[in-house]
Structure 1
Amino acid sequence: MRYCSLGSGSRGNATVVESGQTRLLIDCGFSLRATEQRLAQAGLSARQLSAVLVTHEHSDHVKGVEGLARRYQLPVYMTHGTLHALRDFQAPVEVVQLDQGFTIGELHVEPVAVPHDAREPCQYIFDSGQHRFGILTDTGMITPWIIERYRALDGLFLEANYDPHMLANGPYPPSLRARVSGDLGHLSNQQAAGLLAQIDRSTLRHVAIAHISEKNNRPELALDELQGALAGWSGELHLAEQNQGLPWQDITGMTQPLFAHSGSR
C-alpha cells in the first residue's frame, strides 16, 4: 500500500492511494492537462485510475474532476451534499453515505464527517486489510469523532494549514482570517500537532504535512510544531508541497523521508 501527492495547497489538491491494482485519486483540484502531467510525473496514466473520490466542492479540490472522469470514464464518489453543491455535474456519481463504508477493488474506504464550510464535506480512511491510511485536510477543528476514527493508522496525510501569528499579521482581510481560523475552516499547526498527541500512534509510521498555506505558514514552522508532538516517535515525517507534491511513499515499510524525525526540536 502506498500513496503520493500530486500537489497540496490552496491552488490545487490531488492524492493517489494505491493497493495492488487499485488506484484511487482523492480530489482533483488541477486542470485536466495539469492533472495528466502530474500523474505522468508519478509514473501513472489516468487510465490506470480506478475511481475519483471527492472530499468537498471547493474549486481547489474539484476543478478537474468532471473533465477527468468524463475523458477516462472514471466513477466519481462524493456525498449527496457535495453533489448538490456542484449542481450541473456531468459525470457518473456514486453517492457516499457518511455512516457507511464501501469497497473499491482492493481498498475499503471509510468516509469521515468533518467540520468545514462546505455542503457535506468528508475525509477518508483507506484499509487494505493489512494497513490503514488516513487523509485529513480542510477541517476546522479536531472533534472526538475524528480522534476516534483516526486511531491505529499506518500513515496519515494531515493538514497543517496556517500559523496563527502569521495569519493574524498577514495579508488576509479580517473576514477571511476569521474563516480560516474558525471551527469550519482549516487546521493550524498547533491543532494538527494536538491530533497527533491524542491519537493512538502505536502503528503509525508515516506522517505527511499537507495543505500548507503559502501566505500564512512556512514549512519549518509546521515541521517544528509537529515534531514537538511526535517526541520519541520513530516514524517518518514528510512534507507535501503545492508544486512538487510528494513522491510515492510505501506505508508497508520505511522509505527515504524528505524530513527524518529525530525526536528533538
Structure 2
Amino acid sequence: MRLCSIASGSSGNCIYTGTDDTHLLIDAGVSAKKIEAGLKDLELEGHDIQGLLITHEHSDHIKGVGVLARRYGFPIYATQGTIDQMKGMSSLGAIDEGLYHTIRPDETFSIGDVEVEPFHISHDAADPVAYRFESNGKSAAVATDMGIYNDYIVEHLKGLDVVLLEANHDIQMLQVGPYPYPLKQRILGERGHLSNESAGQLLCRILHDNMKKIYLGHLSKENNYAQLAYETVKLEIQLDPVEYMPQDFDIQVAERDCISGICNF
C-alpha cells in the first residue's frame, strides 16, 4: 500500500491511498486542478481513481467533488447523512445521483483489493466518519475533524502501519487569536477539532513497534503552524510513561497546499 497527502489543512483536504491495482481518494476539498496535479506527481490520472471517500460535508472536504464527478464519473462513498447534505448544496453543481454509494459506520466494504472500514467520529456534521484501510496485511487510517477521541476510536486506530491524524490547533493560539468567541468554543468543543496536545495523547495510545509513518494533518492556518504541531506532539510522546520516544517514529506534518512525502508500506 501507499498513502500521501495531496493537501491537508483547514482550507482544504485530499488524501490518496491505494495499492498497485486500486487507487482511492479521501475527500476532495481543494480544486480539481490541484488534485489532478497531485495525482500527476503520483504518476496517476483522475481516470485511475476507483473511489472517492467523503468524511463529511464541510466545504474543506468536498469543494472539488462536483467537478471531479462530472469529469471522471468515479463512485462517491459517504454516509447517508453526508449524501443528503451534499445533494442540497448548489455550490457542487449537478452530480449524477447514480455515483453516490451509501456506506455505514463499522460496516467494512471492498474497493478492488482494499478493505475500507468507516467509523464514527465526533464532529459538527450530519454523520461524519474516519476511514481505516487494509490490504495484504497492511493498514492505514485517515482520522481528522474530531472534537474528542474515545476508546472506540482508539480501537479503530490500533495496529496501523501508517496514520494521518488531526493536529488542528494550538489551544493558546486559538484562545488569544482573532476568531469570534462562538467559533473558538466550537473548535474547542466535543464536536470540533483535536488540538496538538490531544493528537499527541491519542498517538500515545496507538503507537507500536511496527508503525512506519505518522502524518499530522488538518492544521489550522490561523491557530497553528507546522513546527509547533510537530514539537508539541513529540513532547506528548516523550512525557508519556511508555517505552517509546518520538525519535522512534517517522513523524511528518502534512503540507497545506502541496503533496507530502509518499509513504510506501
Taking structure 2 as the reference length, the TM-score comes to 0.91
Structure with the higher fraction of residues in helix conformation: 2
1:212 corresponds, among 194, 200, 219, to 219
1:117 corresponds, among 111, 124, 129, to 124
Q: What is the distance in 1 between the residues matched to 2:210 and 2:258?
A: 28
Name the SS for the 1:247 alignment partner. Answer: coil
Is residue 2:172 matched to residue 1:158? Answer: no
Q: What is the distance in 1 between the residues matched to 2:32 and 2:154?
A: 35
Name the SS for the 2:210 alignment partner. Answer: coil
Name the SS for the 2:146 alignment partner. Answer: coil
Aligned length: 251
Name the SS for the 1:246 alignment partner. Answer: coil
Which blocks of at least 5 consecutive residues in structure 1 are unaligned? 253-265
Is residue 2:144 matched to residue 1:137? Answer: yes
What do the CA deviations read for 1:29-71 (whole angstroms, capped 9, x no partner)? 1122232223223332111111100000001100111221221
Corresponding residue for residue 155 of structure 2:
148
Q: How far did 1:228 drift? A: 2.2
Alignment of 1:224-243 (within 5 A): 224-231=231-238, 232-233=244-245, 234-243=248-257
Q: What is the distance in 1 between the residues matched to 2:136 and 2:117?
A: 13
Corresponding residue for residue 26 of structure 1:
26
The amino acid of 2:30's aligned partner reads F
Q: What is the distance in 1 between the residues matched to 2:215 and 2:169?
A: 15
Corresponding residue for residue 91 of structure 2:
none
C-alpha contact 1:20 1:106 (8 A) present in aligned 2: no
Q: What is the distance in 1 between the residues matched to 2:36 and 2:198?
A: 34
Is residue 2:86 matched to residue 1:86? Answer: yes
What do the CA deviations read for 1:196-235 (whole angstroms, capped 9, x no partner)? 1122523312100101111101211111121123343422
Q: What is the distance in 2 between the residues matched to 1:70 and 1:85?
A: 18
**Between 210-219 and 226-235, the greater mean CA deviation after superposition:** 226-235
Q: What is the distance in 2 between the residues matched to 1:160 and 1:245?
A: 18
Q: What is the distance in 1 between the residues matched to 2:123 and 2:221?
A: 20
Overall identity of the aligned pairs, in %: 37
Taking only aligned residues, the RMSD between alpha carbons, in angstroms, comes to 1.4
Is residue 2:252 matched to residue 1:245? Answer: no
Q: What is the distance in 1 between the residues matched to 2:108 and 2:209?
A: 24
Which blocks of at least 5 consecutive residues in structure 2 are unaligned? 89-93, 239-243
